[in-house]
């Protein structure tokens, strides 16, 4: 009888652990060059799918989200603008509320302009780190919060790329740190 009870407890424990992991952690395979030099085509990332239940998405976070243009497609980008901020891109620089954004993590400065616009409530302005090779918010969309699947957390494949995904802080982004 004790043997059967131990099997049942073990099975229930395994099911609970599996369910918690499925809800809280996810995987994402990177397609394309939009996040070079920080994330490469073919990399596999582990996502924290519950991060934004406990905190708001922040500038500098690398996120996976459901494309507002194609619900069948998930994308990987970096949050640059948060709700209520003005965004403008001119002369190779991104401006947040009129302040130049420091971006040491990008492949090269953007070779395009984007007129000053306010990020809508509950939405985020996202850009790829490979600014000139990324279909992102500069092409005319913002990401509603409900479209965010998770925060990129860890690069687990291939082995030479193992490590935490490089997020930046608010202060780093605005050159205050």
pLDDT at 29: 78
Which has the higher per-residue pLDDT, 14 or 171?
Answer: 14
Domain at 98, CATH number: 2.10.109.10
DSSP classification of residue 51: H
CA 13 to centroid of chain Cα atoms: 32
Instruction: Extract the runs of DSSP E, i.e. beta strands, from the chain.
Output: 25-29, 44-48, 62-66, 74-81, 86-90, 93-96, 99-100, 114-118, 123-127, 143-144, 148-157, 163-164
Per-residue pLDDT at 177: 46
* Distance (Å, whole) CA 162 – CA 61: 18
Q: Does residue 124 carry a pLDDT above 80?
A: yes
pLDDT at residue 9 tops 50: yes
In the numeric block, the tokens 């099997």 are attached to 7
Whether the Cβ atoms of residue 64 and residue 28 lie closer than 8 Å to each other: yes
Length of the chain: 177
Residue 103 CA to its chain's centroid (Å):
16
Q: Domain span at residue 46?
A: 2-173
Q: Which residue has the tokens 């709700």?
A: 83
Q: What is the DSSP letter of 150?
A: E
Of 161, 149, 160, 156, nearest to 44 by C-alpha is: 156
Q: What is the pLDDT of residues 157-168, one digit of tens each?
A: 666 665 656 655
| pLDDT at residue 103, rounded to an integer | 87
Scanning the structure block, which residue is given the tokens 């990332």?
A: 45
What integer is the mean pLDDT of 29-36? 84
pLDDT digits (tens, 9 = 90+) for 126-139: 999 999 999 899 99
Cβ burial 101-112 (10 Å sphere, 16+ → b, else e) = bbbebbbeebee
- Domain count along the chain: 1
């Amino acid at each position: 009888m004790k043997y059967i009870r131990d099997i049942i407890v073990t099975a229930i424990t395994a099911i609970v652990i599996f369910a918690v992991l499925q809800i809280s952690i996810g995987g994402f395979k990177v397609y394309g060059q939009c996040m070079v030099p920080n994330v490469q085509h073919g990399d596999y990332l582990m996502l924290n799918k519950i991060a934004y239940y406990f905190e708001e998405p922040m500038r500098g976070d690398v996120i996976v989200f459901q494309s507002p243009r194609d619900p069948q497609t998930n994308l990987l980008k970096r949050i640059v603008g948060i709700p209520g901020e003005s965004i403008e891109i001119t002369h190779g620089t991104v401006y947040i509320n009129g302040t130049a954004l420091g971006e040491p993590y990008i492949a090269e400065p953007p070779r395009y302009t984007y007129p000053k616009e306010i990020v809508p409530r509950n939405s985020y302005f996202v850009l790829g780190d490979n600014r000139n090779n990324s279909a992102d918010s500069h092409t005319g969309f913002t990401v509603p919060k409900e479209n965010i699947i998770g925060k990129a957390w860890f690069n687990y494949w291939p082995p030479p790329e193992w490590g935490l995904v490089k997020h930046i802080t608010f202060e780093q982004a605005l050159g205050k740190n």
